[in-house]
């Protein structure tokens, strides 16, 4: 039996269409959702990400600004830029592309973005809200992963979810979101001995390590929902943490790389920005 594919490309297209529909409604009320993406330095891969995010916004009819800053910029100048964007009523979401050059303090910079415009959901305030089970802006990749899991239709309550990876960007927030859905959650990391002993127990398995093909078919419980958040390059080809061929023979559902969690991230970013604009309407 072959696992059913959790197609992030199709789902992300649906989400982008929903973002466009809700943007059109907001525009009738005089508000155009606006996203500012701030990039410090000239990393070519990051420049592509920024362009893709801005293009996706424009395709949805949203207002989009790309702010490119010199890599030798001072902390004060970066913070001043973020404060200006925060005060701009046309901007509902601000995304600071990480990592920053060494001379800059990312925590201090992130603290300049108000929680209600932190559409990446990385601020201490939004991360704390997730931790405390309060409403807040949820990080895009973990949100997209939860959406992919929901596509399987598998009920989460009481299921054992195993998350491999414990970063603040993917692993920890996904684990918290699964806990919110009443899963029993295990978090594994590079110091976990006998990783397979844990992954084989998983009804829901999320891999977010960036270690290509870390998870093989014999490490997966038959019928499990398996989400691959990893991105790595092997022989020039983009690949994930999951060894697709062997795992697809065992899992019940599997998200591919590319075409799984990746496209979901941008779509969730658009949705977070639209939702921030909707909230600003209610504040007027």
Active site residues: 53, 97, 120
Q: How far is the CB of 154 from ligand NDP (least distance, A)?
A: 21
* Contact code string over 171-200 relative to ligand NDP, x by CB under 6 A: x----------------xxxxx--x-----
Q: Which is nearer to ligand NDP, 149 or 188 (CB)?
A: 188
Q: Counting contacts by CB under 6 A, is residue 121 touching ligand NDP?
A: no
Q: Minimal distance in Å, beta carbon 144 to ligand NDP?
A: 7
Here's the x/- map for ligand NDP, 123-142, by CB under 6 A: it reads as ------------------x-
Judged by beta carbon, residue 4 or residue 211, the one nearer ligand NDP is 211
CA distance 23 to 31: 8
Distance separating alpha carbons of residues 95 and 136, to the nearest angstrom: 16
Pairing of strands 237-239, 232-234: antiparallel
Other Cβ atoms within 10 Å of 34 Cβ, number: 23
Smallest separation (angstroms) from ligand NDP to the CB of 106? 13
**Residues forming the site for ligand NDP (CB under 6 A):** 141, 164-167, 169-171, 188-192, 195, 208-211, 214, 229-232, 261-262, 265
């Amino acid at each position: 039996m072959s696992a059913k594919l959790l197609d992030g490309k199709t789902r992300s297209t649906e989400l982008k269409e929903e973002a466009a529909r809700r943007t059109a409604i907001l525009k009738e009320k005089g508000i155009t959702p606006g996203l500012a993406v701030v990039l410090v330095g000239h990393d070519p891969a990051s420049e592509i990400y920024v362009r893709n995010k801005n293009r996706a916004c424009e395709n949805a009819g949203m207002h989009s600004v790309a702010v490119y800053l010199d890599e030798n910029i001072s902390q004060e100048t970066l913070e001043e830029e973020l404060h200006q964007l925060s005060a701009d009523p046309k901007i509902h979401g601000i995304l600071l592309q990480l990592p920053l050059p060494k001379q800059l303090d990312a925590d201090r910079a992130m603290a300049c973005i108000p929680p209600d415009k932190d559409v990446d959901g990385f601020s201490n305030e939004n991360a704390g809200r997730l931790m405390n089970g309060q409403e807040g802006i949820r990080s895009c990749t973990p949100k997209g992963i939860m959406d992919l899991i929901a596509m399987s239709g598998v009920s989460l309550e009481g299921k054992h979810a195993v998350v491999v990876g414990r970063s603040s960007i993917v692993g920890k927030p996904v684990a918290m979101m699964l806990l919110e859905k009443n899963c029993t959650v295990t978090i594994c990391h590079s110091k976990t001995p006998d990783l397979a002993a844990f992954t084989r127990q998983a009804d829901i398995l999320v891999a977010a390590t960036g270690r290509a093909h870390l998870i093989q078919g014999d490490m997966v419980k038959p019928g499990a929902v398996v989400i691959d958040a990893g991105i790595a390059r092997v022989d020039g080809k983009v690949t994930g943490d999951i060894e697709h061929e062997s795992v697809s023979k065992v899992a019940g559902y599997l998200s591919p790389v590319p075409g799984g969690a990746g496209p979901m991230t941008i779509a969730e970013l658009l949705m977070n920005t639209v939702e921030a604009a909707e909230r600003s309407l209610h504040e007027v």
